[in-house]
Amino acid sequence: MTRHDPARFAASPRSLGYRMPAEYAPHKRTWMMWPTRAEVWPDMSATKRDYVKVARAIAEFEPLCMAVCPEDAAEARAMLGNGIELFEVPLDDSWARDAGPNFVVDGKGGKAASLFTFSAWGHKYAPFDKDAAFGAAVAARERMPVFKSPLLAEGGGVTVDGEGTIITTDTCFLNKNRNPSWTREEVTRELLETLGGEKVIWLPGNADETETDGHVDGIAVFVAPGVVLIEGADDPADPWRHIKQANIDALRGQTDAKGREIRMATIPEAEESCVIGDRFCRSYVNCYFVNGGVIMPEYGTPNDSVARQVFQDLFPTCRIRGVHIPNICLGGGGIHCITQQEPA
């Protein structure tokens, strides 16, 4: 079926009562994918060590399952140690947020995998067929229903509040490298039906960030109903200051699906002094919420402590767990990009 077939929506997650919970809702487990594509990482061994640090930090809070190519399973087991489950499955790359399923629940004990069509961020890498099949493989392993959307998209391109509101960006899913023939209205409806939403808020995004074309998970994230953490635009020396301000301006005055006016908290990026290479991700927004905590990226700069205080103020009863991840950031993503939550 295509987007033009109205019969698709008669059996969409939304029509059947499913919705995607917020990331800060309780988790059953976290999914990750072991580093695989050598061309992405200057030092694959160092990147794997950073993945281990993130996985072990998450495992302090909740169960974790690491997907791994069968030929890499022995190495992954030796590096990860005990207490982390392995799922042997063919992989092309290691970004669970984008290739993994969007888990949706129906409020009656049912859970399903709602899948975008994965295209390696608009055909930037090849091959990607194994990653495109990863979401369905997870669903088959967990024996849950599958919903498949024709929209070329990635999980990092959305943030949801679990109460009907979705935030995404113009520069990503409307990009000519993904869905050139779709209108914004068509993408909006597809997101609502696929994730069980009631309202989509569009931010401008970031056309200058060419690895993901401005995924929202490097810009803004829901941290509570009606509350969004967004990158601030206070640094006059920041070359992306105008981009960040445009996103702030676009969110200001918006209401969520429940009619509440969105409140914003701002957070800086890590200082430019930590950046290595053209793809380096220095976003603190690209964090990960776990049961009872926040897994926060650390870059070894003064803004680490600033960001930690922002998270502690937002989550006063949670433990803020920092992880230094320079060898992940080199690949163009952060902690959020390499994780995917499965709701309880």
Distance CA 198, CA 217 (A): 20
Among residues 65, 287, 329, 337, the one annotated as catalytic is 337
With 0-12 / 13-18 / 19 or more C-beta atoms within 10 angstroms meaning exposed / middle / buried, residue 152 is: buried
Distance CA 168, CA 205 (A): 8
Neighbours of 277 (CB within 10 A): 10
- Sort strands 102-105 and 340-343 into parallel, antiparallel or unpaired: unpaired
27 Cβ partners below 8 Å, 6+ apart?
62, 290, 291, 341, 342, 343, 344
What Cα–Cα distance (Å) separates residue 224 from each residue in 24, 96, 221, 231, 263? 8, 23, 9, 16, 10
Q: Which two tokens stand for residue 136?
A: 């369905």
Q: Which two tokens stand for residue 66?
A: 């690491």
Q: Count the alpha carbons within 13 Å of 278 in the hemisphere toward its beta carbon.
A: 6
Judge whether 329 counts as a catalytic residue.
no
- Which residues participate in catalysis according to the annotation? 337
